[in-house]
Structure 1
Amino acid sequence: MTDVSALRVGLVGGGPWARRVHGPALVAHPGTELASVWTRRPEVAADLVGELGGRAVGSFEELLADVDAVAFAVPPQVQGELAVRAAAAGKHLICEKPLAADLDGARAVAQAAAGVVSAVVLTLRYDTGIAGWLAGVPAGAGPDTLGAIRWLSGSLLGGPYATSPWRAAHGALLDLGPHVVDLLDAALGPVTGVDWAHLVEPDLWRFALRHDGGAHSTVTVSLRLPVDPSEIELTVFGGVGRHRFSGGAADARTCYGRLLDGFVDAVHGGPPVVLDAARGLRLQEVVDEVARAAG
């Protein structure tokens, strides 16, 4: 039986990420109840609640009337519009990255979310190995420090996400870019600009960032290399010492559960969520600057 104090969450979307991560994590977490599910195809919502429980609803408005918070597992162009409506209705937000299809949409989401609790699904920040790596990098990185991230994946060559239209259109930059910018920003200090950026078709992105304090970093990401499972390597060398993490992608469902810990606590008056919509907007601003620098 669900605890009466549990946060009632509505899930928007019924694709692979909703089925594998959002939905099961919301069901498993002691502080949340998967109350309602809405998708644009009613049969998808019905199938999902058959697996996970909750109630399939016929409209987004019906979902809003039934919940305290909304978790989005939809393409950015859909999330951008619906998240603004949810926040205007006073519902707390769990948003995917990027926040919206473009910067104007992301700004609208961040502005609307200022009045509610929001969290952005940056799963790597909740991975214990990566969190330990970050904790080991001392603050105060200067010009004598370099960072680098390499994230190589073949997820657009096959598998459940290979048919995602927005990922196919924008590739690794829009999908993986917010993750890597967030990690480098956290490790080396706020990103202040993009030094250079290159795209080698079809989807090999390389770019360099500069950070407040003088540190620099480089990124190599792709979703179209024949690598399975994904490979992630994080490195910092220089004045702050040597710090390296290497491994596969984080277990997204476990990381999402840790995100929910802080989200639920914040809704109930605890510390604010650090990785919120305002953070999501800043990451999207940097990603947009990378895209423009690459031409």
Structure 2
Amino acid sequence: MRFGLFGTGHWAAETHAAGLDAHPRADLVGVWGRDPDKAAALAARYGVPAFEDVDTLIEACDTVAVAVAPDIQVEIAVRAATAGRHLLLDKPLALNVADADRVVEAAVGSNVASVVFFTGRYQPEVAGFIAATAAAGGWHTAQVIRFASIFQPSSPYAQSPWRREHGALWDVGPHALAVLLPVLGRVARVSAADGPGGLVHLLLSHADGATSTVSLTLDAPPRSVAAEFVLYGESGIERLPASGASAATAFGVAIDQLLAEVDAGTRDHRCDVRFGREVVSVLAAAEAARAQGTVIDVPA
């Protein structure tokens, strides 16, 4: 399968490109980026051409792998799906529901396979936890903490404009929701509050009656970096295990699953663009709840 890579940043180079290069059924055919010099450097690293034009690379591949800012991803994804190319996208799918709907409409309308890369969903420990806890059921509540510290000078994401503008809600919030939703079900209502240091706290009411709390920041003090996910319910207490799989390894699993969709002709992957759109709808409702200081309903 011929893959075109869109993006030149750290995540594109060390996760997407590395995962594609290592995969036996993936043929990386080219790189596009908004910075031609960075695109040329990354392309040379993997021995492929750099493309100056988005549509020319789309024409040269069967599948697009996209690792750019979410608003740029939307435009590439719509153009690629409309051209009949399969989609291997990153989270969040978009920064608003209208743009997410555009991607879903293009993918469904062209009947292309799609996978959104929520990293943990492709790590075996996390996937096993989700399957086991979802099957057990009876969960009353969950508590999620994702405290990152990415604005330190040594961080490869310190200068990321979209992360600085949109913060933890849109960057690490999708990771929390990608685990919460398959276990506790659809989110029906959201309230939110801000805290110091870019903190945002969410209170989620799920459609089946469960509740959950999510606390997020990208600017935690280095000593306060934490990632916790705890479920409480009739089966007792369950904690999400740490994963030993690297992001590039997880990306290889995502490639496997996309190729399986293509081979089988199915279009029902559990993390497809429709699921990506569901995550965006919760994030958008949370953003509105922060701004308005009230509870916001999430449309079904």
Residues 1:88 and 2:116 are matched in the alignment: no
Residues 1:124 and 2:120 are matched in the alignment: yes
* C-alpha distance 155-212 of structure 1, shift in aligned 2 (>3 A): same
Task: Specify the SS of the correspondent of 1:208.
Answer: strand
Q: Which residue of 1 aligns with 2:167?
A: 171
- Aligned match for 1:14, one of 8, 28, 31: 8
Contact 1:38 1:63 in 2 (8 A): yes
What aligned pairs does 1:73-152 form with structure 2 within 5 A after superposition? 73-114=67-108, 115-139=111-135, 141=137, 145-152=140-147
Amino acid at match of 2:208: G
- Aligned match for 2:158, one of 150, 158, 162: 162
* Structure 1 Cα separation of the partners of residues 11 and 5 of structure 2: 11
Q: Deviations over 1:56-83 (max 9, x none)?
A: 1221121011100111111111111121
| Residue-pair matches, total | 287
- Aligned match for 2:18, one of 24, 41, 46: 24
Task: Specify the SS of the correspondent of 1:34.
Answer: strand
* Structure 2 Cα separation of the partners of residues 103 and 202 of structure 1: 27
C-alpha RMSD of matched pairs (Å): 1.9
Give unmatched runs, 5+ long, in structure 2. Answer: 292-300
Q: TM-score normalised to the size of structure 1?
A: 0.91
Q: TM-score normalised to the size of structure 2?
A: 0.90
Structure 1 stretch displaced more, 71-80 or 220-229 = 220-229
Task: Specify the SS of the correspondent of 1:294.
Answer: helix
Report the alpha carbon displacement of residue 28 of structure 1 after superposing the two structures with TM: 0.5
Task: Specify the SS of the correspondent of 1:213.
Answer: coil
Q: Which residue of 2 aligns with 1:64?
A: 58
* C-alpha distance 229-262 of structure 1, shift in aligned 2 (>3 A): farther
Q: Which residue of 2 aligns with 1:204?
A: 199
* Structure 2 Cα separation of the partners of residues 106 and 8 of structure 1: 25
Residue identity over aligned pairs, in percent, reads 37
Q: Which residue of 2 aligns with 1:245?
A: 240
Contact 2:87 2:115 in 1 (8 A): yes
* Structure 1 Cα separation of the partners of residues 212 and 113 of structure 2: 31
What aligned pairs does 1:262-281 form with structure 2 within 5 A after superposition? 262-269=257-264, 271=266, 272-281=268-277
* Structure 1 Cα separation of the partners of residues 130 and 17 of structure 2: 28
Report the alpha carbon displacement of residue 133 of structure 1 after superposing the two structures with TM: 2.1
Report the alpha carbon displacement of residue 270 of structure 1 after superposing the two structures with TM: 5.6
Task: Specify the SS of the correspondent of 2:112.
Answer: coil
Amino acid at match of 2:14: R
Give unmatched runs, 5+ long, in structure 1. Answer: 1-6
